[in-house]
Structure 1
């Protein structure tokens, strides 16, 4: 399992093949945390400028090409019209720009010390995979569930077929001596109000799906939620399940800074980002995807992205890993997640069919998700301690492990209150104990006070 024979006939180890996943794991082994933005620009020069700025930040970084919405939904004609009209898109249109132009954008920037990942959000990603492979890229993310249910009305069965085909095509890069890397977005479902055990379960199941189709360099995602103690428990559960179920894969965990309603004040935004960086370090996570002070107001600039990267890296450098549960200590989140994973895997020997049947039977059911293939029988709430709890479990196979559910009618006012819980908590919090003068970038300016150097609206979060 540790070697392949490329077309040259010489056996190549995974470590020799390098790539995105290897860079992240080597950084972690040396005691570092990789930080990453979510930026994307339709103008190739702006995209290259953003990548260079990310590479030159005072942090260990990887680059991102976040794609535009037209490319995500496969509306190529709309993307072409916008480009002809000189309109600014909300991301990089990799399919329309073509491989030659994308290689020019990456030339001299991407390399062994600065890998680049494509982020897209598509349930129909065949053209995206073809374009990124042709451009020489070998890292991307998504998943048959996580890039279907929250993002549109593509039937889940179609998404599963699409992702199976794309995963197989992507995995063939291993035959050329390269190591393709695929990250599951499953730990970020809807961004907020999904209890962590189901986030962990879907992240693991999508990683198993990718493994089934030949990929061996993987990352499992988890998005910061409402309480740091619960988040730590969830990430340790995710790490344990990956170790148990993916023993032959090279995997790491990527933490996302909070993806729900974001604080509106700079102090609140930075305090929430600091908690995400501390969470990543505490849970031995290898990579962190940041958010910026602009999230509540507009699309961030390059300078704001760099400021967030450098701030998160500085906080991480001062944080310390926490001691997790022992391998025999079954936390509530681990028990729930393992129960969900086992129930899904037992539905069918083929993991793609198992995922479809899981949603048909309600064994997986995302609270407040209105996709037609989601049953919509589960509900969650935030308890008095700030933990996300199950209010109603619907047909989830958790009746023997989840106790004390509290069925309650969720009014529109109640839902808005829950959605804004983190924003209100951090906007009302005292200033961070971290001294801003201690967190300076290469320019010497305080990162909290950086001025935007790029026109607002020039990227995507």
Structure 2
């Protein structure tokens, strides 16, 4: 059957559901009506969507770290520390890599090894293996809303267990958790699997339980042009809204240039509301998330705090609804809870100092917003043409043609022809447009800005610029200028 953006028939969903729940024994613990009843009794201060909506109305930015370890009590201890010591407003449960790949036998081995050696031997919390009661133990132990963060092309069983377990937000999507994460997963398959997840979330919504959904904004994390991440965020918002999702948080990964980053967050919310309204999804609440720098970090902790604080300042000045916080151990591996807490404290100090600052309004900002919107609309409109009005079908065909293309992604279903580089001021531009459907007016802006950089640096724009930019922040700079 051809992929289409249409609400999944409930009988078809229930037929699929039996197979999903049979994937691993803990799936049998889930009873949907009992799960609805459990979620309905959670206090309001544990509900992700409510806290985000309140922050949007107040014009403040909430801070959320990444965190997850293998064992239940240790995971609870970590989350409690991040709230009580770090002051996190929202909490994560980052899922381990084996679970992300649906390799539950290996996740179980990681649990047993962690118990044996007395420390986490997994890079996250294996929620599927721990099951329903363990998830509820985590939710009930901390007084802050918790989101599931992972990176799973097929996240159906994980969604069933964690939503029934009381988590009130769920990250990911059929594009953003496939193209940047997997090599051989067909895009059509992952979009179908995430239609299931969103249909499940939509069912909770029908029963009065609002689950926040957040596509993964940064994608490959380094030098991703705003128009690419915006297009994918809006596609996944449209796919989720069709299945009944009402609370959407759309994300963007910091590029480093203040004007471009502020313009990106503001244009993302405006474009999302434009396209959701155009297709009749007028009862959704759109919030935004700004991800602190997702590329290479300095190893020196003091320099790392500089990167973190710059991300916090940009999040505050863009009026993002929340910011995902990095740690001073980013260059070294999985951080300690103390390092994670330190990143949150540094971020919140900056957020509190800047929360009452007025919105930036400059001609440069307006021009950047206009450029991002024009680029994003060009991509989305061509995808709709490819899909004959259907965004799901158009997305699959568009990736095949390179009409939408994620730089540096591992997926063989991504053309991979885009080549981004910074301009003289550090904004991300395109050195090679691949097959993006831009007119000469847009292309000339990119060419001119990169040429200006080349002239200032005394070199011809080339792939070496891209390499220099990728490593620049780790070396203490934004633009990878030759020494």
Instruction: Give, in angstroms, the shift of residue 227 of structure 1.
Output: 1.4
Q: Which residue number corresponds to residue 341 of structure 2? A: 306
Q: Which residue of 2 aligns with 1:403?
A: 443
Alignment of 1:341-380 (within 5 A): 341-348=380-387, 349-380=389-420
Find out whether 1:98 has 2:131 as its counterpart: yes
CA drift of 1:415 comes to 4.4
Does residue 333 in structure 1 map to residue 372 in structure 2? yes
Match of 2:153 among 114, 118, 123: 123
1:169 counterpart = 2:200: yes
CA contact 2:68–2:93 (8 Å) conserved in 1: yes
TM normalised by structure 1 equals: 0.83
Ranges in structure 2 where 5+ consecutive residues have no aligned partner: 1-32, 115-119, 277-281, 451-459
CA contact (8 A) 1:336 1:401 kept: no
For 1:1-16, list aligned pairs within 5 A: none
Taking structure 2 as the reference length, the TM-score comes to: 0.80
The answer to which of 174-183 and 35-44 deviates more is 174-183
From 89, 103, 108, the counterpart of 1:75: 103
Structure 1 alignment gaps of length 5 or more: 1-6, 429-461
- 1:386 and 2:437 equivalent? no
User: In the alignment, which residue of structure 1 is the partner of 2:14?
Assistant: none
Choose the corresponding residue for 1:293, options 325, 328, 351.
328
- After superposition, the C-alpha distances for 1:297-335 in whole angstroms (9 at most, x for unaligned) are 121111111111121111111112423579997621221
Q: Is the 8 A contact 1:283 1:324 kept in 2?
A: no
Q: How many angstroms apart in 1 are the aligned matches of 2:107 and 2:461?
A: 42
Q: Give how far 1:427 is off.
A: 9.6
| Residue 359 (structure 1) shift | 0.5
Q: How big is the shift at 1:370?
A: 3.6
Q: Is the 8 A contact 2:261 2:318 kept in 1?
A: no
- Deviation track 1:370-397 (CA, whole Å, cap 9, x = no partner) reads 4111112221112222121111112111
Larger fraction in helix: 2
Counterpart mapping for 1:49-60 below 5 A: 49-57=77-85, 59=87
Matched, 1:197 2:227: yes
2:58 pairs with 1:33: no
Partner of 2:265: 235
Q: Tell me which stretches of 4 or more aligned residues in structure 1 moved more than 4 Å.
A: 324-330, 405-411
**Aligned residues of 1:271 and 1:426 also touching (Cα < 8 A):** no
Shift of 1:222: 0.5
Three-state SS of the structure 2 residue aligned to 1:307 is: helix
Partner of 2:94: 66
Q: Assess if the C-alpha contact under 8 Å between 1:36 and 1:62 holds in 2.
A: yes
2:414 is paired with a residue of what secondary structure? Answer: coil
Q: Choose between structure 1 and 2 for higher RCO, CA contacts under 8 A separated by at least 6 residues.
A: 1
Instruction: Give SS of 2:79's match.
Output: helix
Aligned to 1:23: 51
- The whole-number CA distance in structure 2 between the counterparts of 1:363 and 1:426 is 32
The answer as to whether partners of 1:54 and 1:62 remain within 8 angstroms in 2 is: no
How far residue 118 of structure 1 moved from its aligned partner, in angstroms, is 0.4
Deviation for aligned residue 1:116: 0.4
Q: CA RMSD in A?
A: 2.7
Matched, 1:260 2:295: yes
Following superposition, the deviation at residue 124 of structure 1 comes to: 0.9
CA gap of 1:315–1:214, structure 2 versus 1, over 3 A, is same
Q: Using the alignment, how far apart are the partners of 1:41 and 1:72 within structure 2? A: 14
